[in-house]
A and B are shown apart, each in its own frame.
Chain A
């Protein structure tokens, strides 16, 4: 545990990727495989099911710290991280545990799940007392599962590859699905990740998907595309769908469906199970799951069924899904990622035609003689319910993650909706924004200028400002706070921001009657006064 806590501290202390890489390699070189197995799991985003309900954890920590609950809450608001708060408040101990990360997890932490509050009250403080402050914080992070330390899966992959002398694409392939809930990290599993390549590895891959290839944003004006990208004919152009990116894996008479988060989601989409009989063994297709009723339906509908544990007939009727397929990664059991885009596409179309099921459709290829022509077609994006276009190099291979060395995909998104809104509430942030007012609620007027009107909140946003701007906003919030409701401060309205968002829908849950997707701050409009902010009518116009 101590070695892992030290790794965490080292990773946390630096922003340099090289320093992080070095810290990871140093850790993996000395860690016993059973510990390394769990380290890989957490560092690449694995989260076990909640071990202790957060409410209980807080209560127990407050009790163990011997302070009033309100004082605990004030401390938490200032620190912005529950695990860190608890570790700073508990009485200082020296590190006395002799157990490694795996023993801590398997014998001490995982068994906490489902224990009664009485049992927890007995066990937790005894566990905590064995750890010093840095280890304690990491221990509580393992319990809460919120384990962000600025390490990407890619970095973990590179560290393992460098240490084991393997190609990092090979390690990425082996890591797919490693963090899925069904996989429990073991020493054996870890040793497989770093084992020398064997010739039967490909045959033993089971339901493993491939690492997803990701696109880069393209924000230059279309006039520059000829210089930037060459002729449109060199690119495969498609709509950028607003659904769930997924891989369909058909092997050994079985079908697996994996989401972009490398989560196994086969059970969530029963209407796709018929593909088991339509696709030949040794086929892997990359595409987008969308709600489809003769045309693609808004993401909001899909969202409604994602979270459900059981899918009622009504939901399946209201929001039936289909796969819009756009790539072929495996064909007849062969890895096809080294075929060029044009070949993969041609073969994909043949497979879809042979399969001949309405739940599997090709994502249409768009054509245009010039970029200007395509730009004009792109204007229809909002009406069609897509986010813009994808441009894929026809000669490109299928890469790993957000890389550019094998092939190249661009996402050419339409500009977001935007309105000028007023900051009315602020809340302190988490992580590196702890104790800074960085999370804001925005409002628009409920009537036109000149009328008797009030500000109605409609969106929360916390991204888009530079650190410098955020510090300034923070200072203004502190000076203009009117009232505090727990962690939230209401402020005298004075600041106007241009707020961007991707989608807009009617909502019964919001006071304004409107819900927006991915709201973020595009600009701080210091040139505008509160009176100049938009009103609800502007938002309602966007609905149509």
Chain B
């Protein structure tokens, strides 16, 4: 019997009568992480990993009916044992482990396998069936170690300071922004955050994650000479808006896994593309799947067809799950 099936409302556990990351309002929801396409408003009950509480509440409302568990802590619901395990994607992100009558399934939500210091690193969990994302499910996606990417960002920033230009770095405001702030060399110059980024910085700091001092960009006057030294962290939606005018002469860059391809880089029309993703690359996906020891793999959002076929050729029982994940700006093709 399948522990998880795809229903119009979301991924459903029939034995436990709850949904994982439902995209339509339901009675009981288990949330892997707080990105908009996985955590939606309108559910009666929410269950999530404890480190994600602050962000979930700040995004879905302080008064949601939310119960949390520490990583590894177990609850039993209708006979289904449920626990959360780190997914390494963003702060509070978790894989959901379900055990029922000796059968173990793991729904991983979104994950990346390289530890980044802003959230608990991905932890492989042995299971019979593994539900995996496939956002970057093609062998063309291979990430460089993040230290190299951060060094590239530092160099670009310093180069801009030398040229008297502001450095505007576009990235997703939850997760990527904080990972960058955590990883770059903050001694280079002042750092400004867009209004969409600044509140999340606060949540990360409250969770004890090192985020260097940031100024709210709205507090800095247009033409302030400080801007020509500054790194400005902003969501992609700020690009091309009137908000950008205050920075005068600037160089812009975009940090995303999609920047691996020239086509997407050029479509973005920014000066630089930094290949930095909070999702697993192709080798990462294959490594994670292998680590679980699962013989059955359900593939969700991304390159479903490709990953399914590849896994089948490797002798695994793989199939696709139709979901509505990946519509968030985090995962949509840049």
Question: Which of B78-86, B122-130, B189-197, B257-265 lies at the binding interface?
Answer: B257-265
CB distance from A386 to the nearest CB of B (A): 37
- A50 CB-CB contact with B under 8 Å: no
**Residues from chain A with Cβ under 8 Å of B139 in the complex:** 65, 67, 71, 75, 89
Instruction: Determine whether the beta carbon of B140 is less than 8 Å from that of A88.
Output: yes
Given contacts A13-B272, A92-B142, A431-B266, contact A71 B260 (CB under 8 A): no
- B115 CB-CB contact with A under 8 Å: no
- B222 CB-CB contact with A under 8 Å: no
Residues facing B in A66-109 (CB within 8 A) are 67-68, 70-71, 74-75, 78-81, 84-85, 88-89, 92
Question: Which of B67-75, B205-213, B306-314 lies at the binding interface?
Answer: B306-314
**Residues from chain A with Cβ under 8 Å of B149 in the complex:** none
- A305 CB-CB contact with B under 8 Å: no
- B138 CB-CB contact with A under 8 Å: yes
The bracket for how many chain A residues form the interface is 20 to 34
Of B263, B265, B267, B271, chain A has the most CB atoms within 10 Å of the CB of: B263
> For the complex, what is the distance from the CA of A68 to the CA of B272, rounded to whole Å?
32
**Residues from chain B with Cβ under 8 Å of A85 in the complex:** 140
- A367 CB-CB contact with B under 8 Å: no
- A314 CB-CB contact with B under 8 Å: no
The bracket for how many chain B residues form the interface is 20 to 34
**Residues from chain B with Cβ under 8 Å of A15 in the complex:** 269
- A12 CB-CB contact with B under 8 Å: yes
Chain B, residues 264-288, CB within 8 Å of chain A (1/0): the string is 1111010111000000000000000
**Residues from chain A with Cβ under 8 Å of B310 in the complex:** 68, 71
**Residues from chain A with Cβ under 8 Å of B313 in the complex:** 68
- A352 CB-CB contact with B under 8 Å: no
CB distance from B39 to the nearest CB of A (A): 23
CB distance from A334 to the nearest CB of B (A): 46
CB distance from B294 to the nearest CB of A (A): 21
CB distance from A87 to the nearest CB of B (A): 9
> For the complex, what is the distance from the CA of A85 to the CA of B263, rounded to whole Å?
11
Question: Which of A196-204, A208-216, A392-400, A432-440 lies at the binding interface?
Answer: A432-440
Instruction: Determine whether the beta carbon of A14 is less than 8 Å from that of B271.
Output: yes
> For the complex, what is the distance from the CA of A430 to the CA of B266, rounded to whole Å?
12
Instruction: Determine whether the beta carbon of B262 is less than 8 Å from that of A70.
Output: no
**Residues from chain B with Cβ under 8 Å of A434 in the complex:** 261-264
Chain A, residues 436-475, CB within 8 Å of chain B (1/0): the string is 1000000000000000000000000000000100000000
- B223 CB-CB contact with A under 8 Å: no
Residues facing A in B179-237 (CB within 8 A) are none
> For the complex, what is the distance from the CA of A392 to the CA of B179, rounded to whole Å?
61
Instruction: Determine whether the beta carbon of B140 is less than 8 Å from that of A79.
Output: yes
CB distance from A355 to the nearest CB of B (A): 50
Residue of B nearest to A85 (CB): B140
> For the complex, what is the distance from the CA of A74 to the CA of B138, rounded to whole Å?
8
CB distance from B241 to the nearest CB of A (A): 15
CB distance from B47 to the nearest CB of A (A): 32
- B44 CB-CB contact with A under 8 Å: no
**Residues from chain B with Cβ under 8 Å of A67 in the complex:** 139
CB distance from B253 to the nearest CB of A (A): 10
CB distance from B23 to the nearest CB of A (A): 16
Residues facing B in A462-512 (CB within 8 A) are 467
CB distance from B325 to the nearest CB of A (A): 15
CB distance from B151 to the nearest CB of A (A): 16
- B333 CB-CB contact with A under 8 Å: yes
Give B contacts to A, CB under 8 Å. Answer: 138-140, 142, 260-267, 269, 271-273, 303, 306, 309-310, 313, 333
Instruction: Return 30 A-B CB contacts under 8 Å, by A number.
Output: A12-B262, A13-B265, A13-B273, A14-B271, A65-B139, A67-B139, A68-B310, A71-B138, A71-B139, A71-B310, A74-B138, A74-B306, A75-B140, A79-B140, A79-B261, A84-B261, A84-B262, A85-B140, A88-B260, A92-B142, A431-B262, A431-B263, A432-B262, A433-B263, A434-B261, A434-B264, A435-B261, A435-B333, A436-B263, A467-B267
> Nearest 5 pairs between A and B by C-beta?
A434-B263, A432-B266, A88-B140, A75-B140, A74-B306
